[in-house]
Structure formats: structure tokens, C-alpha cells
Amino acid sequence: MISVKNVGKFFKDKKVLNNISFEVHKGEIMAILGPNGAGKSTTIRNIMGIMYPDEGSITFRDHKDIPRNKIGYLPEERGLYKNVKVMDILLYLADLKDYPLKKAKERALAYLEKFDLKGKEFVSVEELSKGMGQKVQFIASIIHEPELLILDEPFSGLDPVSQELFKEEIRQLANQGTAILLSSHQMNLVEEMADRLFMIHKGQKVIYGTMDEVKREYANFKCTIRGKNELSELEVLPEVQRIKQEENKSVLYLSKDVQPAMWLKSLPDNVRIEELVLDRITLHEIFIDVATGKNLILEAGELDA
């Protein structure tokens, strides 16, 4: 749906994007991740046509001109007109996308009911709670049935129930064929939802691939043991690369080629275990590693899929 190829962007003499390349396919959720200042917003603005790349190209279905009525956008900074009624703002934004108003009204009413906002269509935006306003802005981004949907921090400020509602709708849109580019700092939700991810740091790609590929390449196993154990006793265990201890909990980060079942059998009887969990490191931990530049995880090199 969208192809970003070798994109570079300069702000004065500073290169803020350096040879960025990725694709967003029809019917998938593609996450773009990175710490603040990494270049995510600049990348999104180039895709939106708010600014244009100095190097490389961005194409929509192999065409350089991206039709604005085919894109939906939920910005991180919400910006609905506060003194306008909910239905009026939804129909106005649909009209800007050249979407039939009768159909837009039908979809607006259906979504307002779905998002527990039935009866709010004639309420001014300024009278809504923050969560309600966010729901309205989300509806505005999808009311015209976009082929590409860009979501910038869509879960920010939502309660758990509303988060689940958004997750269900985003996944349903993807199942219906919408290409979704998702930017979020809530790594647990990204890990749960994304089909592929692109991680950027200091304007450059550091990770790109499907979630399964990223997990296999970077997410080594870790073993969390609750119980009072001396660090010296754990350091001699096989396949342990590093250990993080706090109070009565020890997290053992294991080598890439470890065989989990065999490793568990190798634990000596003197290891005190009140509780044990063996799983892969999380996307959150990978993100922290990249953002802080510790390079504890990314020693294997760069994944490019």
C-alpha cells in the first residue's frame, strides 16, 4: 500500500532521517517505534505530505501522488474544533475527504453507538471528557473508509475498557483490508497487535521485520526466579549471559542458542525457587535497550525482512 524507499530528510544541516525504507501492506498492522526524537513524527509527516523527503521516495500503490482521501490520520496531539457539535465535525471531516454525506452520517451514528457515545451527536466537543473526545477523533479518522490509516499514540489517555475497544476496532479494520501504520510507546499493546515493526533510532533503522522474526532474532529467553539466591551461585549456571537482581528476585538472561527444556533440567538442587517463569524478553525490553544505547540485545546484527 505504502512504500518508503531510501528516504532522507534534512533540517538545515542536520540529517534527521537517514536512508529509511519500509513498506505497509494491505490488511496488516505495521508498528513504527523509537524513542522521542528518533524520527517517527518526521517519517509520518513525510508520508502525509505535510513535508517532503530530500532523498528517496514515498509511493502509494506505486504512484508518487498519494491521494489524501485514501488516508486516515489520528494525530498524537488531538485537535477537534471545541465549539462544534460532534456530528457536525464528523460530517465536515468526511466531506473534506469527498465521502458521501449520507453514508458518513450512517457510519457516524453506528460508530457513536459502538463507542458508547449514543446521544452525544449534538453535544459540543468541548463538553466531552478527554476519553470521549479521543473516541470522536478516532471515528473522524476512519469515517471515510481509508485504505491507509495512520495512528499516532491512539491509546494515550484511554481507560482499559476503551483500550480494548480501540484494539478490537483496529484489528477489525486490518482484517477488512485497511493498511495500518501504528506509532505507540505502549510496547505491551504493540507487541500484542502488530504484525510487523520498524524501529528507528537517531534517524536510522535498527530493526525491521515481522514480530515473530524480531522475537527469534533479538528476544532471547530469560528466566525469572523468585527466591533468595546469591549472585555468585547463579553466575556459574550454563548459558547465562547476565543477571539482574532485586530483593528476592533474579532475572537470568540466557544465550541465544539455549534449549529451554534442557537448561531447566540443568538447574542444581541448591537453587531456591519459590516461583519460576521462563519466557522471551519483551518488546519493551528491546525498546529500552535501543533507546538507552546499551546494545545488550542488538549484538547479533540488524534484522531486515
pLDDT tens digits for range 178-217: 999 999 888 888 888 999 999 888 888 888 888 888 877 7
Question: Following DSSP, what letter does each residue of the chain receive, concatenated?
Answer: -EEEEEEEEEETTEEEEEEEEEEE-TT-EEEEE--TTSSHHHHHHHHHTSS--SEEEEEETTBSS--GGGEEEE-SS----TTSBHHHHHHHHHHHTT--HHHHHHHHHHHHHHTT-TT-TTSBGGGS-HHHHHHHHHHHHHTT--SEEEEESTTTT--HHHHHHHHHHHHHHHHTT-EEEEE-S-HHHHHHH-SEEEEEETTEEEEEEEHHHHHHHH--EEEEEES---HHHHHTSTTEEEEEEETTEEEEEEPTT--HHHHHHT--TTS--SEEEEEEPPHHHHHHHHHHT--SSGGG--EE-
How confident is the prediction for the chain on average, in pLDDT? Answer: 87
- The top-level CATH class assigned to 218-304 is alpha beta
pLDDT tens digit string along 122-160? 999 889 888 888 999 999 999 999 999 999 988 887 888
pLDDT at 185 (0 to 100): 83
Confidence (pTM): 0.80
Q: Enter the CATH code of domain 2-215.
A: 3.40.50.300
- Domain chopping of the chain, boundaries: 2-215, 218-304
